[in-house]
Chain A
Amino acid sequence: MTDDGLVDSLRSASGRLLIAGVAVLALLVLGVAGLVAPDSTAGRLFFVLASKSTLAATLRLSVPIVFAALGGIFAEKSGVINIGLEGLLIISAFSAIYGADVTGSLWAGFFVGILSSTLLAALFAVVCIEFRADQIIAGLAVWLIALGLAPFASSVFYGGPNTTNVGTLDTITIEGLASIPFFGAFFDASPAVHLMLIAVLVSWYVLNRTTFGRWVRAAGENPKALDTAGVDVSRVRYAAVLLSGVLSGMGGAALAFNIGQFTGNGPTMVNGKGFIAIVAYLFGNYNPVGALLSTALFAGLDATQLRLQTADVIAVPDSLVQTIPFVAVILVLALVGRTRLPEAAGDHYESGEE
């Protein structure tokens, strides 16, 4: 078994290195092409990639995925696999729009979005922790409930799966810094982007440098020991799952305010972002900063395909280009393979049961 574990971790480490290496190499090749032959397809592709607006789009597209991934890290580190992140994003995206529509304030709507996602996460927590439901099936149920409930509510209030438009968050622009090539995108962005970057740092700090973070990790790795130390394992897990609801709520609300409207046809506007988030934190090895970087890879590919369609560099039908982020997720999973997850993830913990 030790050998298997070693082989697995070597394989996943080499998988990560391989993906990072390929990404860097591809950028280098394109960069050289851009310098040598600016008019070639590869050269034009490089200028699309290196533009400020591609970075801006990447950051914008990253927001919901990163928030959901941060939530997923807390839940799974505490021993509860939350596969319902997609559902949390869906419900908060709708509620945020509805809240903003009713109160007339985007920030109040933001709060309503967080509240609804936290409530759904609380239901998930009770079902998993109190009633010992299978976490994967309960997570799928959370997703499917939200997938039905959001368009249902939208039809009740707006007569169809799409809501009215309530407007978007104003971007924060810092004069001067915003005109820096490429990196200027950081200083000319929606407050949601800044909130995301702050949330990544805070999450990292909480997980690795605070008592609560230590409890969360212990609840997932060795709940027995945590129990022996006098900490209630269930309460730690409840807190972590609720936190995943709060964080996903921010992500869903930010997603909805990005265009100012909830669209609920088919897979809704969330369109798999919650599942991509799961792969992002697995690929990022449960590290918030790692999750941010791997999300940037997926979102960067998505941003590139969006820019390619408008910039008209390569003539590929949009249906096919749109598959790129999904295919990338599958490739990453195949290359990284099995990840080392918290020891007790997926297991119930029964205090006092000997």
Chain B
Amino acid sequence: MSGDDPSTDGDSPPDPGDGERATESDGDASASDSRWDAARRRLVRLGQTSVGERVLIALSALVLSMAVGTVIVLVAGVLATCRDPALTIGGSTLCYDPFFVFDRLFLGALGDPFAGGWSPLNNQFAATLRETTILVFTGLSVALAFRAGIFNIGTQGQLVVGALASALAVLWTASLVSGTLALVTLIPVGLLAGALGGGFYGAIPGALKAYADANEVITTIMLNFVATLVTRYLVRNHFADPTSQATQTRTLPDAGQFPAILFDPRTDFSILALLLALAFVGGVYYLLEHTSFGYDLRTAGIQPAAAEYGGVNAPRTVLSSLTLSGALAGVGGALFVMMTLGKFQTGIPSYGFDGITVSILAGNNPIGAVFAAFLFGVLKSGSNVVSFATNVPPQLVGVLRGLIILFVAMPEFFRLIGRRLAAGDPESGTAVTAGGGADD
């Protein structure tokens, strides 16, 4: 590799010699010429910390981001002008009450479990589960790529392409079949088309990374923009619903939409879709932990050089993991079309970016992704309750999304606090070390 010489300038600081330099690099000189390898190693190490510590860090990150969120709501409440203030503290009036906001965000999303007469089938809880279902897929998509050492920021674009592919495939198939045949074919066709569309769109950055060394963070972000623009063009110019002003396709026939069972059909939630999501979680877990492909994928993520030495075809692993990752996002898009909307419409919510937070919060673990997705389902559905019940802008959830990623990314911060606590209060200190010391 190039660049053992720190600089060609004669007056640059002296080079202390290779022996010492090796100690501060991570000891893997062969991988250090790659742009993101150092970051990747830490990323994978993030997933290697013990389960107890990971859960503790995730929970601490959550609490901390809620605390920062509270401060933001308070400050915004002071700065905003409104007709009837929600809170008065020491003579100054605040437009927003942060405690009421978080009450609505969490309890509201569950349909007020403490209010009496609560049923798990209530409409707001259904909305929460509906969001959770899609987020499980985007979370799995990001997690699968992360485990292979790939940053797939393009889950959003893959979901959008999968959604359109699914809507078009269902509409086209519906023109050929009817009756019982439609009932048994349309949904599988839609899911398959979503997976193929998303998989194809994930394969593009996969091939670019595998065979042209193009960094996937940038290519996937660029492809998100391209996906939005191209689907807008396709729907507007070729597949538009002539009866609507919005940029959308025609509505899918009933046989092409997930049936509402148990829950109110108006909530657009189907328990079948959630079960399908859980089946995918099991599938991805099995693929990662119990198949040779999963082993190759994880090895490529942890030790690319060792994986290659051990006979793993690195480019092919990159290509197939990004394709699979895209396919998972595409199925999420298919569900959004066949369950939530009943058609394709431009301006799909940013499930892909939420998927990044879901995956990072879950330590890139498929099972953990279910819990993280449910948490984000609560936040997304709760933000609607918040904007209904208060005048706090619903974009607050977007801020929380970023804060959670930031805090999960700095485990050192929590370890520091843990050590401080341990120094002052022996009891909580042991809890932290016990969590951190256990190996899984």
Chain A 313-330 per-residue mask, 1 if CB under 8 angstroms from chain B, else 0: 000010110110011011
User: Which of B250-258, B274-282, B322-330, B390-398 touches A?
Assistant: B390-398
A205 interface contact, C-beta 8 A: no
A337 interface contact, C-beta 8 A: yes
With A228-B13, A229-B13, A343-B32 in contact, is A330–B214 under 8 Å at CB?
yes
Contacts of B43 in A (CB 8 A): 134, 136-137
Contacts of A138 in B (CB 8 A): 406, 409-410
Find the B residue at minimum CB distance from A145: B402
Do residues A1 and B33 form an inter-chain contact, with CB atoms below 8 A?
A: yes
A296 interface contact, C-beta 8 A: no
Q: Which of A123, A144, A322, A341 contacts B35 (CB 8 A)?
A: A341
A293 interface contact, C-beta 8 A: no
Instruction: Say what secondary structure dominates the interface of chain B.
Output: helix
Do residues B76 and A148 form an inter-chain contact, with CB atoms below 8 A?
A: no
Please report the C-alpha to C-alpha distance between residue A231 and residue B151 in the assembled complex, in whole angstroms.
Answer: 34
Do residues A224 and B21 form an inter-chain contact, with CB atoms below 8 A?
A: yes
How many whole Å from B253's CB to the nearest CB in chain A? 28
**Chain B count of residues within 8 A CB distance of the other chain:** 80
Contacts of B46 in A (CB 8 A): 134
Do residues B410 and A133 form an inter-chain contact, with CB atoms below 8 A?
A: yes
A353 interface contact, C-beta 8 A: yes
Task: For chain B, residues 1 to 44, give those with C-beta under 8 angstroms from any C-beta of chain A.
Answer: 1-3, 6-7, 9, 11-16, 20-21, 23-26, 29-30, 32-39, 42-43
Please report the C-alpha to C-alpha distance between residue A173 and residue B32 in the assembled complex, in whole angstroms.
Answer: 50
With A1-B30, A272-B221, A275-B221 in contact, is A221–B403 under 8 Å at CB?
no
With A156-B393, A319-B229 in contact, is A134–B42 under 8 Å at CB?
yes
A235 interface contact, C-beta 8 A: no
B109 interface contact, C-beta 8 A: no
B222 interface contact, C-beta 8 A: yes
Please report the C-alpha to C-alpha distance between residue A350 and residue B25 in the assembled complex, in whole angstroms.
Answer: 10
Question: Which bracket fits the contact residues of A?
Answer: 35 or more
Task: For chain A, residues 306 to 354, give those with C-beta under 8 angstroms from any C-beta of chain B.
Answer: 317, 319-320, 322-323, 326-327, 329-330, 333-335, 337-341, 343-347, 349-350, 353-354
Chain A 192-228 per-residue mask, 1 if CB under 8 angstroms from chain B, else 0: 0000000000000000000000100110011111101
Please report the C-alpha to C-alpha distance between residue A347 and residue B29 in the assembled complex, in whole angstroms.
Answer: 13
B419 interface contact, C-beta 8 A: no
Do residues B13 and A225 form an inter-chain contact, with CB atoms below 8 A?
A: yes
With A136-B36, A350-B24 in contact, is A142–B402 under 8 Å at CB?
yes
Do residues A83 and B217 form an inter-chain contact, with CB atoms below 8 A?
A: yes
Do residues A337 and B212 form an inter-chain contact, with CB atoms below 8 A?
A: yes
Do residues A148 and B214 form an inter-chain contact, with CB atoms below 8 A?
A: no
B412 interface contact, C-beta 8 A: yes
Do residues B412 and A131 form an inter-chain contact, with CB atoms below 8 A?
A: yes
Find the B residue at minimum CB distance from A279: B218
Q: Which of B3, B215, B401, B409 contacts A221 (CB 8 A)?
A: B3
B430 interface contact, C-beta 8 A: no
B232 interface contact, C-beta 8 A: yes
With A156-B76, A329-B218, A333-B215 in contact, is A141–B1 under 8 Å at CB?
no
Contacts of A104 in B (CB 8 A): none
User: Which of A3-11, A29-37, A42-50, A55-63 touches B?
Assistant: A3-11
Find the A residue at minimum CB distance from B414: A131
Do residues A137 and B405 form an inter-chain contact, with CB atoms below 8 A?
A: yes
Do residues B80 and A157 form an inter-chain contact, with CB atoms below 8 A?
A: yes
Do residues A141 and B230 form an inter-chain contact, with CB atoms below 8 A?
A: no
Q: Which of B24, B35, B230 contacts A339 (CB 8 A)?
A: B35
Contacts of A123 in B (CB 8 A): 406
Chain B 200-211 per-residue mask, 1 if CB under 8 angstroms from chain A, else 0: 000000001000
Please report the C-alpha to C-alpha distance between residue A300 and residue B217 in the assembled complex, in whole angstroms.
Answer: 24
B356 interface contact, C-beta 8 A: yes
Chain A 137-163 per-residue mask, 1 if CB under 8 angstroms from chain B, else 0: 110111111111101110111000100
B358 interface contact, C-beta 8 A: no
Contacts of B14 in A (CB 8 A): 225, 228-229
Do residues A140 and B405 form an inter-chain contact, with CB atoms below 8 A?
A: yes
Do residues B393 and A152 form an inter-chain contact, with CB atoms below 8 A?
A: yes
Please report the C-alpha to C-alpha distance between residue A152 and residue B212 in the assembled complex, in whole angstroms.
Answer: 39
Do residues A152 and B13 form an inter-chain contact, with CB atoms below 8 A?
A: no
Do residues A326 and B222 form an inter-chain contact, with CB atoms below 8 A?
A: yes
Please report the C-alpha to C-alpha distance between residue A148 and residue B379 in the assembled complex, in whole angstroms.
Answer: 14
A234 interface contact, C-beta 8 A: no
Task: For chain A, residues 260 to 304, give those with C-beta under 8 angstroms from any C-beta of chain B.
Answer: 266-267, 271-272, 275, 278-279
Contacts of A136 in B (CB 8 A): 36, 39, 43, 151, 217
Find the B residue at minimum CB distance from A231: B13
Please report the C-alpha to C-alpha distance between residue A161 and residue B409 in the assembled complex, in whole angstroms.
Answer: 28
16 inter-chain pairs at a CB distance below 8 angstroms, sorted by A residue, are A2-B2, A127-B413, A131-B412, A133-B412, A133-B413, A138-B406, A147-B398, A214-B7, A218-B6, A225-B12, A225-B14, A320-B230, A323-B230, A344-B24, A345-B35, A346-B39
Interface residues of B (CB under 8 A from A): 1-3, 6-7, 9, 11-16, 20-21, 23-26, 29-30, 32-39, 42-43, 46, 72, 76, 79-80, 151, 153, 208, 212-215, 217-219, 221-223, 225-226, 228-230, 232-233, 236-237, 347, 353, 356-357, 360, 393, 395-403, 405-406, 408-410, 412-413, 416
Given A145-B406, A228-B16, A330-B223, 4 new contacts (CB under 8 A): A5-B1, A218-B12, A317-B236, A347-B38
Interface residues of A (CB under 8 A from B): 1-2, 4-6, 8-9, 81, 83, 123, 127, 131-138, 140-149, 151-153, 155-157, 161, 214, 217-218, 221-226, 228-229, 231, 266-267, 271-272, 275, 278-279, 317, 319-320, 322-323, 326-327, 329-330, 333-335, 337-341, 343-347, 349-350, 353-354
Question: What 4 A-B pairs are tightest by C-beta distance, nearest first?
Answer: A148-B398, A145-B402, A155-B393, A144-B402
